[in-house]
Amino acid sequence: MSLEIEVGFTLNGRTVQVKVPPGMTTLAMLREKLDMTGGKLACGEGECGACTVKIDGRTINSCLMFAVDCDGRDIQTIEGLGSVAGLEIMQQAFVEHGAIQCGYCMPGMIMQARYLVDQNAGNDQKLSREDIARGLEGNVCRCSGYTKVVDAVAAVALEEASA
Amino acid sequence: MIENYKVPSSIAEAAQILHQGEATIVAGGTDLTPQTEAGAREFAVTLINIQRIEEMRGISRSDDRYRIGGLTTVTEILESESLAIDVPVLVEAADHFASPQIRNAATIAGNLCNASPAGDMCIPLLLLDAEVELASWVDGSVSVRTLALADFFTGPGKTVMRTDELLTAVVFNQPVAGFAATFQKSGPRPALEISTVSMGVAAVPEAGVLTVVRVAIGAVAPVPLRATDTEAVLEGQALDESLIDKAAESVQQEVSPIDDVRASAWYRKHLTGVYLRRALSHVAGN
């Protein structure tokens, strides 16, 4: 029988325990063991950001992180951001600005956009369009619709800064 | 096939595990995962996750000596206020590193141990004459050897580190007063680009003369390269047009790039000269 390791962590505010093979990626664990299919596998090597999740307050490519290393950590996926009934403000902004085309990259893109705006909160310097483009440079949209993505993120940044 | 999984919480514990036999070490996973997933690298029977070794984290300074724990992420280097003041070239290289998500996971030790000739953090650290600390288990206790980063790399993906060793920290002295340094990299897009050529140049410029000259170049040789011949050409000489020509010629002699999907050897050699000229004018202008 091949080796499995039991790991326990917080997933979207909920405590979970799961057994994983030591070589499994976090993305595979989330999708295959925990049914969190928001994060997507696209490139599988950290180039595209479709698998972006937040771990201990930092976004990472979940396709690169070992599932066993999730033990004891705090993980947030797109499923933990909002719900179908009540979208989170960033998700709503992407809808309102027509930023979504095929949608495959969106869970990762939105997780990174949320992180970017949160990271800049409390900074006197407002996020410029260039800052937003740089902050999302690890997220690739193959439909190549970046302008409306930047519009959506800029709108949220502005709204939250004046709130 | 992985048969054992270990999560040491101290350097001593990790060194003992490594002493027992060959193991695959994982930290951020940003280089290891693509290699194992693509079949380019096999797991050893033991997988060691070193992420819980707290003593390998963080950036500290004691007198003029900086110590960056091996598990420090590129983001932590990028966000370090003291490094931004004392060693801006390191922060500059961190800013050019991959993408935000990768910077959040990738560790300094991982970037060095992966030993890519194009490893971005290697270049500024070579300019700083950085050293690495390698820990192992010898006669019942942890033994640490310290060696120059310039002597660490032996080829693409290869270093002098033994399989029973762990890279626990990078150390370097705070640069001397007046030390100016620059880092540049080339590639079709700024993010997530494996450098076609990356270059760092550092020196103390005074009255048109450069001293303490350091030239380090990535992706143009089997290892991240210290261009010592070119440093010698520049050291202590008046920096005029003819010296810059001579240095550019020297640096192109010193590199041995390859043709690959990212660029031809000819183009890399050409860029090396262009970047040296650019870097020299930047450093001299400071």
Single-letter amino acid code for the residue at B107: T
E strand or H helix at B171, and its extent? strand B166-173
Q: Rounded to a whole number, what is the distance in Å from the CA of B26 to chain A's nearest CA? A: 8
Tens-digit pLDDT profile for residues B60-115 = 999 999 999 999 999 999 999 999 999 999 999 999 889 999 999 999 999 999 99
From B1, B4, B191, residue closest to A138, measured CB to CB: B191
Residue A1: predicted pLDDT: 60
Provide, as residue numbers in chain A, all residues whose Cβ is less than 8 Å from the Cβ of B99. 46, 49, 137-139
B44-72: pLDDT as tens digits? 999 999 999 999 999 999 999 999 999 99
The residues, ordered by sequence, that sit 6+ positions from B89 with a Cβ below 8 Å of its Cβ are B124, B127, B128, B181, B182, B183, B200, B202
pLDDT per residue as tens, chain A (163 positions): 689 999 999 999 999 999 999 999 999 999 999 999 999 999 999 999 999 999 999 999 999 999 999 999 999 999 999 988 899 999 999 999 999 999 999 999 999 999 999 999 988 888 999 999 999 999 999 998 899 999 999 999 999 988 7
Six-digit token pair at B175? 């640069």
Calpha distance A79→A138 (Å, rounded): 20
* Of residues B5, B30, B104, nearest to A59 (C-beta): B104
Q: Is the pLDDT of residue B11 over 70?
A: yes
pLDDT band at B257 (very low <50, low <70, confident <90, very high): confident
Distance CA B36, CA A28 (A): 15
Closest residue in chain A to residue B99, using alpha carbons only: A138
Q: Judge whether residue B286 has pLDDT over 80.
A: no
Contact B214, B123 (CB under 8 A): no
The answer to whether the Cβ–Cβ distance between A69 and B3 falls below 8 Å is no
Q: Residues of A with CB below 8 A from B101's CB?
A: 46, 49, 52, 59-61, 112, 138
Q: Mean pLDDT for chain B?
A: 93
C-alpha to C-alpha distance for B280 and B268, rounded to whole angstroms? 18
Smallest Cβ–Cβ distance between B51 and the set A58, A69, A112 belongs to: A69
Distances (CA, A) of B17 to A6, B145, B184: 20, 18, 39
Do residue A66 and residue B29 have CB atoms under 8 angstroms apart? yes
Contact A60 B191 (CB under 8 A): no
- Gap between the Cα atoms of B226 and B282, Å rounded: 19
Q: Which residues, 6 or more positions from B197, have their beta carbon under 8 angstroms from its beta carbon?
A: B185, B186, B217, B218, B219, B220, B257, B263, B268, B271, B272, B275
* CA angle, A21 then A25 then A29, to 5°: 70
Query: Is residue A158 within 8 angstroms of chain B, CB to CB?
Result: no
CA-CA-CA-CA torsion for B247, B250, B252, B253, nearest 10 degrees?
180
